[in-house]
Amino acid sequence: MSFKNLSNIQPTVGSIGKSRKTSSKVNWMPYLLISPALLMIVGFLFYPMANVFYYSLQEYNPAKPFYNHFVGLDNFLSIFRSDELFYSSMLVSFKWVSIEVVLQLIFGLLIALLLNQTFRFRGIFRAIAILPWAVSGVITSTMWSLLFNEHIGLINDLLIKTGIIQHNVAWVASMETVFTSVVITELWRGIPFFTITMLAALQTIPKDLYEAATVDGAGRWKSFRHITLPYLKNQIILSTLLRSVWEFNNVDMIFTMTGGGPANKTTTLTMYVANQAIIAQNFGYGSALTVVGFLVLLVFALSYLKISGFGKEA
């Protein structure tokens, strides 16, 4: 190769060096654009979480500032060693979450299967089915408290007229009926969540599979078992996990309807936290209870995803 050709190559090498220098510069614009969202996440999520962990190691009561001090792990030791209400509230929480999530999944899936069919006024029935999801927890609890009212409640009136009961029942004040009452109330509000998620997942299943199953002689049950359920697997796992976390942290409806009573029959762990932190102003102990609840949910979520095989092919 001649010197003339080598001289022609040199500018090309120089241009490559320039492009490398240019490409090595970091483009900060994307980070700048997402910085407001990151700041809000830190300010409204991570900072409050850090505060909870901090106050869990404190004896902190705003009404008694002179007694506030660092106690280390004493709050946690008191929880596990001498707090019987903690264990009973955990038992109520487990019972509450299990019943609610299972029943909401079953009824939500059944309604979704019905709404996935083709019939007249399907859009209207779909809107009616998801309407309770748009109602806030406080409004829901107030409405159902009136329905369950011992003296003016519609439920007592209907049951007496049909001969099912002979006298008025204090549904949310009786130890025998209070838990069932709040379960029914939360079912009314929670079923639409599963209806929406299951209906969305059902619409992604190819119809060719059902047609092929029909040609092969498979009935409705076999088609549901071998086509519908495998396609809904991941959606069911994710929906039940999310709903379990939400139901575990549910406090607005129980707080409004029963306040955790009578005799702590509806005192879940989050209801216990609300009583300690909001009513008793014992923020240190309430924060320790919150940390325990967070760890319980974390272990449950990781174990559930591992055991259920979320994300794996059916």
Residue 66 in tokens: 């002179």
Q: Please choose, from the candidates 204, 208, 214, the residue with its C-alpha nearest in 3D space to the C-alpha of residue 112.
A: 204
pLDDT tens, residue by residue, 296-308? 999 999 999 898 8
Say whether pLDDT at 11 is over 60.
Answer: no
Tell me how far apart the alpha carbons of residues 21 and 39 are, in angstroms, rounded to a whole number.
32
Q: How would residue 107 be classed by pLDDT, with cut points 50, 70 and 90?
A: very high
Q: How would residue 14 be classed by pLDDT, with cut points 50, 70 and 90?
A: low
What is the predicted pLDDT for the residue at 199?
93
What is the predicted pLDDT for the residue at 277?
86
Which is it for the CA torsion 6, 12, 17, 18, positive or negative? positive
Say whether pLDDT at 71 is over 60.
Answer: yes
Q: Please choose, from the candidates 292, 296, 302, 214, the residue with its C-alpha nearest in 3D space to the C-alpha of residue 53.
A: 292
What is the predicted pLDDT for the residue at 17?
52
pLDDT tens, residue by residue, 116-150? 988 888 889 888 988 888 888 888 888 999 999 98
Q: Please choose, from the candidates 275, 277, 255, 274, the residue with its C-alpha nearest in 3D space to the C-alpha of residue 266.
A: 255
136-155 residues labelled b (16+ CB within 10 A) or e (exposed): ebeebbeebbebbbeeebeb
What is the predicted pLDDT for the residue at 284?
92
Which is it for the CA torsion 198, 251, 268, 183, positive or negative? negative
Tell me how far apart the alpha carbons of residues 276 and 259 are, in angstroms, rounded to a whole number.
12
Which domains does the chain carry?
A: 64-308 (1.10.3720.10)
